[in-house]
Amino acid sequence: MFKIIKNFHWIIGSSFLSIFLGILTFYTFIDQGPINLTEKNLQILLIIDVILLVTFFYFIFKNIYRLYFAGKRNKTGSQTNIKYISLFSVFTLIPSLVVAIFSLFIFNFGIQKYFDDQITKAVNNSYDVAKNYLEESKENVKSDVILMSVGLNRASSLFYANNNRFKNIIRGEKLLRKIDDVYLIDSAGNILVSDLSGVDVEFNVPSEEEFDEAVLGNPVFVATGINNKTSVMLKLNTLVDTYLYISRNIESDILRYLKETEQAVSFYYSVENSQTGIKITFAIIYIIVITLLLFLSTVIAITFATRLTKPIINLINASQNISKGFLDTKVPNIEADDEFRTLNKNFNQMIERLKKQQDKLLTAERYEAWESVARKLAHEIKNPLTPIQLSIDRLREKYSKQLSSNSEDFEKYLQTINRQIKDIQNLVNEFSHFARMPSPIFKNINIIEVIKRAVDFVKMSSKFQINLKTKHSNLLMSGDDDQIYRAFLNLLKNSEESLAEKTLKNPNFKGKIDIEIISNNDYISIYITDNGTGISDKQKIMTPYYTTKKEGTGLGLPIVNKIINEHSGDFTINNNKNSNGVKIEVVFYK
């Protein structure tokens, strides 16, 4: 999933940006967003929405085209891939479309019901109730100031005769009417008597217009600038230049309820006036969300189909190459399910085994050809050697006495011919041995003992260090101990000759040969490493009669390779990067 998001970050980014601007446009329509509700601002937002929507759909169609039709360029498996992609896409598309259509219908039905007459009446009535309640609260204060003035007018004589009793009457009226603050003031705004709800109560002096209206004997609402307080003033007729000024605090819950109701009504009518634009905005947002979900579901379907078909296509391509004889083909190691990875691994192992079998067959055919050549060559060369040898003996008997003055030179020539004949005979013997090497006689042998025997034989005459390392003392396998002994003896002698050659160039050189034997339940691996001169041509080194030694016949490694192949083993030789020598690996399968 995270890989899909990474691959299509432009699409997902543009979709979220479009959704954000759609929501911003919606809040601008209802005048609740950070952008002021003006016709110009709405036009700019809608133009940006359309541009982003077009950009979003461009990315969508571009990537669908790339994903869906890219497979057609690869003919192998393209029809199967497209079939799976189409099938998965249809099964994800149909439910999504049904849900989208149903949701749009529900949304349109719901927004229409939102603006029906009953809801409009309920919204208006709730606001009227809250407003009437506040007005009623104000009228109650107005009634209270009139009733309270009657009582104070009756007791006006006490204002001068017994001021304390007059104040008690004011306090009694205050408690009876549930008034918060009571003042007696003059026309200049001076406080004559007061009874307050707290010491920090702020007194607002009425305006001249309010005093002029109160002089007429009518109760006057005093504008205090404080939202949570209702103040009313009334002139007392029995006292000279005296006004009754009372205040009652409005409950905070009532003010909060009124404020919330006003906001709700304002929001409702702003939404009602902009419902067409809101529908368009919601439609854009919904289309973007649904399209994004459809695209992601399609991409997931394409990814799943590709994940399913790509390993099959790789196997088809590999099998086609193998049928053409290209056994170096490998099935690519791709991210796939465990079953496909196992199948690819087994297929590659099968190809490797086929390649090894082919190499062994080719090697066997090559050796058979060389054996035939060696047999014929040995026969053709060996036949004239005997007459030549007899002719030399007769020449010595017949002319050695007659050439008394030059008898030494004559004898030297004959000895030179004899040495060359012996060299040819040795070469012919090697040919014959290579051509007539018997088939192995298989029996249970201890490979550790065979290799130790070869190591001990070489150590007897070697001046180099030879180390044998193994955790086992007894490793049984089926094989011919004489032939395996000969193979490892040949390998050790080759390493020894390589070390000797390096010693001639550097007398202080310390050569060594390391042998390590490792075994598990399936195979036995023998590693031979040295720090000698290495090999110059890996490709030709296994070719019969190819040699870089002055007195070599070029048959040593081919014989070793033949012995190991006849024991169903693997033989590889490479230059050792760590010590500049060679590293030989011999594997025998149990």
Per residue in 533-561, pLDDT tens? 888 766 666 665 556 565 555 567 888 88
Between 390 and 150, whose confidence is greater?
150
pLDDT value for 300: 67
Asked if residue 480 lies in contact with residue 567, where contact means CB atoms within 8 angstroms, the answer is yes
> What's the whole-number mean pLDDT along residues 327-338?
73
pLDDT value for 1: 46
Q: How far apart are CA 490 and CA 484, in angstroms?
A: 10
What percentage of the chain has pLDDT greater than the value 70? 63
Asked if residue 381 lies in contact with residue 424, where contact means CB atoms within 8 angstroms, the answer is yes
User: Does the structure show a pLDDT above 60 at 374?
Assistant: yes
Digit-coded pLDDT (tens) for 25-83: 666 665 666 777 666 776 677 777 777 777 767 776 776 676 556 555 555 556 666 67
pLDDT value for 460: 87
Which CATH superfamily includes the segment(s) 135-264? PAS domain (3.30.450.20)
User: Does the structure show a pLDDT above 80 at 394?
Assistant: no
pLDDT value for 353: 79
**Among 463, 466, 459, 482, residue whose Cα is nearest residue 563:** 482
SS3 per-residue string spanning 288-308: HHHHHHHHHHHHHHHHHHHHH
Q: Which two tokens stand for residue 332?
A: 């690519």
Q: How far apart are CA 534 and CA 502, in angstroms?
A: 10
pLDDT value for 274: 56
**Among 553, 528, 557, residue whose Cα is nearest residue 540:** 557
| Residue 148: other Cβ atoms inside 10 A | 23
What does R_g of the chain's alpha carbons equal in angstroms?
56
Asked if residue 411 lies in contact with residue 468, where contact means CB atoms within 8 angstroms, the answer is no
pTM check: above 0.85 = no
**Among 335, 332, 303, residue whose Cα is nearest residue 316:** 332
Distances (CA, A) of 123 to 111, 120, 132, 272, 536: 16, 5, 14, 12, 98
CATH number assigned to the domain covering 443-589:
3.30.565.10
- Range of weakest confidence among 165-169, 197-201, 537-541, 560-564: 537-541
Count of residues in the chain: 590
494 HSE (CA, 13 A, CB side): 27
Point out which residues pair with 517 in neighbouring strands.
470, 526
Highest mean pLDDT among 142-151, 387-396, 398-407: 142-151
Q: What share of the chain is helix, strand, coil (3-state, %, to 5)?
A: 65, 10, 25
| Residue 28: other Cβ atoms inside 10 A | 23
Q: Which two tokens stand for residue 166?
A: 């007059």
User: Does the structure show a pLDDT above 70 at 270?
Assistant: no
Q: Which two tokens stand for residue 155?
A: 């007791």
> What angle do helix axes 78-114 and 39-69 make, rounded to 10 degrees?
160
User: Does the structure show a pLDDT above 50 at 318?
Assistant: yes
Digit-coded pLDDT (tens) for 401-458: 666 666 677 777 777 887 777 777 776 666 666 555 667 889 999 999 999 999 999 9
What percentage of the chain has pLDDT greater than the value 90? 11
- Range of weakest confidence among 140-144, 189-193, 276-280, 487-491: 276-280
Asked if residue 245 lies in contact with residue 222, where contact means CB atoms within 8 angstroms, the answer is yes
Between 459 and 124, whose confidence is greater?
459
Asked if residue 38 lies in contact with residue 28, where contact means CB atoms within 8 angstroms, the answer is no
Phi, psi of 468 (to 5 degrees): -115, 120
**Among 438, 427, 437, 439, residue whose Cα is nearest residue 378:** 427
Distance, first Cα to last Cα, the chain: 46
Between 510 and 133, whose confidence is greater?
510
Residue with tokens 């016709």: 39
Tell me the pLDDT of the chain averaged across its residues. Answer: 76
225 HSE (CA, 13 A, CB side): 6
Q: How far apart are CA 271 and CA 239, in angstroms?
A: 57
Distances (CA, A) of 299 to 72, 93, 250: 17, 11, 62
